[in-house]
Amino acid sequence: MKNIELLAPAGDFDAFQFAIDAGADAVYIGGEKYSARAFSNNFDLEEIKVAVEYAHIRNVQVYVAVNTLILTHEFDECITYLDELYKLNVDAIIVQDYGLLNVALKRFYVVEDVSRAAEGFSQTWYPHLYRVKLKQIYDSQEFKEILNKDAGAGDGKTLRDVLSTYEQEMQINNAVVQQAEADSPKSGYDIAHFYTLQVDDNGKPELVTTDTTQLDATTQNTLADRVTQTPSKEGYDGYILGDGIAPNGEQFGFGISFPATSDKGDYFLRTDFLPNRLFRRDNSRWVKMEDNIRMTLTNTDTRSTQKGTFVNNTKTSTIAGESVTERQSLSKALRPKADN
């Protein structure tokens, strides 16, 4: 007996919930782009993510309609959109344009085999962590009818489900990322556990004492038991060391402006800089010490780097009553505009 799947449409999240509560096996929705469901409210990527999580907990599948005809100049952007849907773990894409299907499937790969690189291990070069063998995701129309037949185990699974290596490949893929993050959680080198000794002009330890008759209670980092001055720089040189943390476990403040009161040797992290910048008080002025340039190696949209923040920036600002896209080239931003 052929299993019947109850597939229901949903134009917004309320309808999506109603369809699942009513017993739908799968729900198909439209995104904000490339969907023929133009008169529905449709879902943005964040709403699709929530919808997928909501459905999968209840053992319901989610299909996303990408069912408009794709123009030539839209292909790259559409494939990027498909990649976003793939990351959100949607169960299927409903496609009308076979030209898109032929192009898009060749852009996606799954992990087939993983091994350590023979050249050695380097903490600063991500390809040295693992060597990954990939294979393309493809669809073979001539085997479709065979693979969709019942596997005969009595559990309703098809031959496609039994022969599929999707779960195994996804587990390998996730394990590779998790192990890589454990081996090298951030780029560069971690020197936070090393001690740095501040020296004077003669190369001797710079000592500091706190006279109780001169102690200013407003300088929170002045300790009565302090013996040596705080370091003016990290005592170690290397590739990508800055982490925005004061050396030797020293206290430091943070904010978008310097504190009104401070003492020599105090540290302050300016969070309005990107990347965040650590300063040290040197008598009458604040001196830059380092930038927080160490970051996670996983390439996600949340990486707070200058490049990543620019590329992933979709915000707009209103200037003189006009909506301006923040992510644009300098030449375009400075181009004179004709008077209307």
Q: Report the pLDDT value the prediction gives residue 51, as an integer from 0 to 100.
A: 92
Residue pLDDT, tens place only, 245-272:
999 888 899 999 999 888 888 999 999 8
pTM score: 0.43
% of the chain with per-residue pLDDT over 70: 70
CA torsion sign for 164, 166, 171, 175 is positive
| Residue 45 region by backbone torsions, left for phi larger than 0, else alpha for psi between -120 and 50, else beta | alpha
Residue of 80, 83, 29 whose CA lies nearest to 54: 29
Domains within the chain, CATH numbers bracketed:
1-107 (3.20.20.70), 110-184 (no CATH), 187-340 (no CATH)
Most confident of 8-22, 200-214, 326-340: 8-22
Token couple for 272: 């309005």
Question: Do 23 and 6 form a contact (C-beta atoms < 8 A)?
Answer: yes
Q: In sequence order, what DSSP letters do the residues of 185-229 get, joined into one string?
A: SSSS---TTS----B-TTSSB-B----TTT--TT-TT--TT--BP
pLDDT band at 48, cuts 50/70/90? very high
**Amino acid code (one letter) for 327:** R
Most confident of 175-179, 202-206, 304-308: 202-206
Question: Do 150 and 139 form a contact (C-beta atoms < 8 A)?
Answer: no
Among 52-61, 70-79, 158-167, 227-236, which is the least confidently predicted range?
158-167
Residue pLDDT, tens place only, 65-97:
888 888 887 888 888 888 888 888 888 888 877
Q: What is the mean pLDDT of residues 38-67?
A: 86
Residue pLDDT, tens place only, 278-330:
999 988 899 999 998 887 777 665 555 555 566 667 788 888 788 888 877 77
Residue pLDDT, tens place only, 98-138:
777 667 766 665 556 666 555 555 555 544 445 556 665 55
- Provide the terminal-to-terminal Cα distance of the chain, rounded to the nearest Å: 68
Residue 210 phi, psi dihedral angles, 5° rounding: -115, 110
Helix and strand counts by DSSP (H, E) for the chain? 9, 12
Among 22-36, 142-156, 289-303, which is the least confidently predicted range?
142-156
pLDDT band at 277, cuts 50/70/90? very high
Q: Report the pLDDT value the prediction gives residue 128, as an integer from 0 to 100.
A: 47
> Is residue 161 predicted with pLDDT exceeding 80?
no
Question: Do 268 and 293 form a contact (C-beta atoms < 8 A)?
Answer: no
